[in-house]
Structure 1
């Protein structure tokens, strides 16, 4: 089992360089697999969209909460760490042109020695996506094409990549550096909907349905596996990342999530602003899980 930890954006510390460097280094020292960076290009003081992960329908972040760009944050954290995986969770695909995103992601992966995992989603905040110049209702079709563009630009075509679709088009395009794994840089799909499960089955290397449990989770995993099989892919090769809390996870709960199919558990931090307190919480979690400290 792999254990990842989400950077504690709600604490308002993720733009503090000293805090985040110490946090990432402690994650690595404790034996956690990766750090996960969330994304919002903007938040709004007033919005009509419904946040799907809370009964209130409101996101639990103030509009002025500092949320660094996830790839820039991960590039920064690659420097003081050596082995820690660097993941987005999730990067909002409609906010990004895939040609530029292919270059940025490949750069982070190459300079970090192949440590990037790109978990992407289509987003829920209509006002944010429309502010980025994208039609909210076409973001699903656009996402499928974006994934194809990323794979094409990361591949090693001697004459360059060519793509002509509904939203994007180019001929003989060369994009270097390549990710360490080339076109197989891990692309996971985040989301809680059947559409996300289908996209993971058809196009992803993994599925991250955080905030979902019970029968609903089982239904989504079934959809993912059926879609993968229909596309001629091996469902067993797709990684499943499920969520829990840093403060309550233990070996018993981890075993329960493993029984539901989890290959990785993505752990949410409490909103702690004192780095020493946060490090103590991580150390206690690592001890409960019997993680092997890095030497």
Structure 2
């Protein structure tokens, strides 16, 4: 079992370079495998869209919470760390043009020595997606094309792609990612469509807010889609979640029984010294058990 960690976005600290550099170094030092960032390009004040992962329909972050660009933040953290994997959990893929995004991702992967992992989702906040000029109803299809287009740019000497939303001819994009096959892409989300997408094209699946029978049903869809696409279902990593100050060895064992390869641990302590103590205690109690 590997362990990723999310900084405490609700504490408003993620745009503080000194805070984030020290947090990342400590996570690396105590044994976390990966560090995750999230994305909201904008949050419309008083948004009407329903957040699907909380009973109240509102995301746990305040509307005015600082949310730095996830890739720019990871590029900064790449420069202050040496080993920890740099991941998005998640990036709202339909908000991005795949030609530009493929270059940004490849650059970070090359400069970090092959440490980037891309977690993607289709997004839930209609107001945010429409603010960047994207039709909300087409976001799933755009996500599928974007994954195909980026992999073509990473794989082919002169890439050609023709889709409904994106097209290019004999495009050369360098540098390429250091990792063979390109940056690993993990699909986030709770829906049946997300599970099928993970099985069809993902290197991993990060279901949000699922457990028990609901998780088992989605994993069945992942496996079925992978087999239909001629892929090995066992090669698709499952990442689940937990809270740093709550999760214990029993929770880890249960996640392992569910087939998880990784737990992405959320944090909520804004005082860095106290958070470092929590991280160290978690590492001793769980990571190095």
2: CA distance, partners of 1:210 / 1:78: 26
1:190 aligns with 2:218: no
Q: Is there any run of 5+ residues in structure 2 with no aligned partner, and where?
A: none
Question: What is residue 261 of structure 1 aligned with on the other side?
Answer: 259
User: 1:189 touches 1:207 (CA, 8 Å); kept in 2?
Assistant: yes
2: CA distance, partners of 1:137 / 1:75: 31
2: CA distance, partners of 1:204 / 1:264: 15
1: CA distance, partners of 2:31 / 2:55: 34
User: 2:3 touches 2:287 (CA, 8 Å); kept in 1?
Assistant: no
**Does 179-188 or 13-22 show the bigger shift?**
179-188
User: 1:155 touches 1:182 (CA, 8 Å); kept in 2?
Assistant: no
1:273 aligns with 2:240: no
- Give secondary structure in 2 for the equivalent of 1:183: coil
1: CA distance, partners of 2:256 / 2:11: 29
Question: What is residue 31 of structure 2 aligned with on the other side?
Answer: 31
Question: What is residue 164 of structure 1 aligned with on the other side?
Answer: 162
- Give secondary structure in 1 for the equivalent of 2:24: helix
User: What whole-Å deviation, never above 9, does each CA across 1:52-80 have from its counterpart, x for those lacking one?
Assistant: 01000011222211000000000000111
Structure 1 residue 182 displacement after superposition: 4.3
* Structure 1 segments (4+ residues) deviating >2 Å: none
Question: What is residue 136 of structure 2 aligned with on the other side?
Answer: 136
TM-score by length of 1: 0.96
**RMSD (Å) for aligned C-alpha atoms:** 1.0
The alignment of Structure 1 onto Structure 2 pairs a total of residues equal to: 289
1: CA distance, partners of 2:89 / 2:32: 16
Question: What is residue 5 of structure 2 aligned with on the other side?
Answer: 5
2: CA distance, partners of 1:74 / 1:87: 8
Structure 1 residue 290 displacement after superposition: 4.0
Question: What is residue 17 of structure 2 aligned with on the other side?
Answer: 17
User: 2:110 touches 2:176 (CA, 8 Å); kept in 1?
Assistant: yes
- Give secondary structure in 2 for the equivalent of 1:50: coil
- Give secondary structure in 1 for the equivalent of 2:65: coil
**Does 178-187 or 135-144 show the bigger shift?**
178-187
1: CA distance, partners of 2:187 / 2:215: 15
User: 2:105 touches 2:183 (CA, 8 Å); kept in 1?
Assistant: no
1: CA distance, partners of 2:120 / 2:89: 7
Select which of 244, 247, 258 maps to 1:246: 244
Query: Which residues of 2 match residues 97-246 of structure 1 at below 5 A?
Result: 97-157=97-157, 160-246=158-244
Q: Is there any run of 5+ residues in structure 1 with no aligned partner, and where?
A: none
**Does 117-126 or 210-219 show the bigger shift?**
210-219
User: What whole-Å deviation, never above 9, does each CA across 1:185-210 have from its counterpart, x for those lacking one?
Assistant: 21000000000000000000000002
2: CA distance, partners of 1:53 / 1:260: 20
Select which of 272, 285, 288 maps to 1:288: 285
User: 1:154 touches 1:182 (CA, 8 Å); kept in 2?
Assistant: no
User: What whole-Å deviation, never above 9, does each CA across 1:73-120 have from its counterpart, x for those lacking one?
Assistant: 000001111001100000000111110000001111100000000000
Structure 1 residue 232 displacement after superposition: 0.6
User: 1:4 touches 1:265 (CA, 8 Å); kept in 2?
Assistant: yes
Structure 1 residue 183 displacement after superposition: 3.1
